[in-house]
Each structure stands twice: as structure tokens, then as C-alpha cells.
Structure 1
Amino acid sequence: MAEKKVVKSFLFGALAGAVTGAVTALLFAPKAGKELRKDIADTAQTVGEKTVELSKKAGTSAQSLVKKSTDWAVDIRSKFGKRAGAEEASADEEAESVAR
């Protein structure tokens, strides 16, 4: 779990660093205003596309995690549910025999 947080933090930091570096390079490059604005727009579009791609991957990973968690919970419930059900059934039978 901690490893996923480290990877997530690293990816976020790398993305933030890439954006900051790209914007800084564009702003300090000796270009005309029109050319600079085009470069900024192109970079913004590229960053937007990469953000969408990363969001889709994160969504897919989250869905996979939910599926695994659900399967795990169902498995645990079925293992412990059978034991609890058997204990409840024997308790019900005892209660009925006492009532008779």
C-alpha cells in the first residue's frame, strides 16, 4: 500500500515538474509573441491529453482494486458466513427444543 503511494507521489511530482519545466523553457526562449503563444497552446494541449490518459489509467486501476476488494469480501463472507450460519442454526434448534 505504501509503495503505491510512493509511485503515485512520484508520478504527480514528475508531471508537475514536466509542466513547470516546459512553461519555464517557453517563457525564457527568445521567440516572438505569436510564436510563443502557439508553443504554449501546443504544450497545454499535450499536457491535457496526457492528463486524460493518466486519468483513464487511474480509473482502470481503481476499478480493478474495487473488483479485487469485492471478490475478497465475498470470499471472506462465504467462509465466515457458513460458520456463523451453522452456529445460528444450532442455536435456533436449541431454542425450539427448549420451547417444546
Structure 2
Amino acid sequence: MAEKKVVKSFVYGALTGAVAGAVTALLFAPKSGKELRKDISDTAQRVGEKTADLGRSAGSAAQSIARKTSNWASDVRAKLNKRGQAEEETSAEIVESDSAAR
């Protein structure tokens, strides 16, 4: 019997605490639900806009890097082609001089 009384007291205490906590939360809440939902919506919209801006910035940066890399690669190819042509000319001159010497 005493055990039932302890359980009953605990349940009443828990319910009373829950109700008191809920009332306190409602009384001390800084904003109404409607205002809070609006703030959440506005913040979500701003986050979405910032994300889109960052995405555009990242895309522009990636394009710039791709352009610079492409230009660099073209320059390297051109230098290698010049070097290859110079080596071919040098090789041709050596072959001609060998042929003339014979």
C-alpha cells in the first residue's frame, strides 16, 4: 500500500513539474510561435541565398582556375613544340654535316 502511495506521489510530482515547466516556458518565451516561425523562415531564406552566392563564387573561381590552367598548358605545349623543332633542326644539321663530311 505504501508503495502505491510513493508511485502516486511521484506521478503527481512529475505531472506538476511538467505543467509548471510548460507554463514557465510559455510565459518567458521571447517570441510568439508566429514570430518564431517567421524568424526561422527568414533565416532559412537568407541561408539559402548565401549558399547560392557561395556556389556562384565557387563556380566563378573554378572557371578562372580552369582558364589559367588551360593557358598555362598551351604555353607549355608551345614551348615543348619549339624545343622539339629546335632539336629536329639540330639533328638535321648534324646529319647534313655528317653527309657532307663523307
Give the TM-score range, shorter chain: 0.5 to 0.7
Residue 76 of structure 2 corresponds to 76
Equivalenced residues, count? 68
Which runs of 5 or more residues in structure 2 are unaligned? 1-28, 96-102
Q: Distance in 2 between matches of 1:89 and 1:66?
A: 34
Are residues 1:53 and 2:50 paired?
no
TM superposition score normalised by structure 2: 0.55
After superposition, where does 1:28-47 map in structure 2 within 5 Å?
30-47=30-47
TM-score when normalising by structure 1: 0.56
Please list every run of at least 4 consecutive aligned residues from structure 1 whose deviation after the TM superposition is greater than 4 angstroms.
Answer: 88-94
Separation (CA, whole Å) in 2 of partners of 1:38 and 1:92: 80
By how many angstroms is 1:54 displaced?
1.3
Indicate the SS of the match to 1:51: helix
Determine the C-alpha separation between the residues in 2 that align with 1:57 and 1:79: 33
Larger Rg: 1 or 2?
A: 2
CA shift for structure 1 position 87: 3.0
Q: Percent identity?
A: 58
CA-based RMSD: 2.4
Offset, 1:92: 8.1
Consecutive unaligned residues in structure 1, runs of 5 or more: 1-28, 95-100
- Greater relative contact order (CA < 8 Å, ≥ 6 in sequence): 1
Residues 24-80 of structure 1, C-alpha deviations (whole Å, 9 max, x = no match): xxxxx6111121011001100011011101110111111011101100110011011
Give 2:46's aligned amino acid.
Answer: T
Separation in 1, partners of 2:68, 2:55: 20
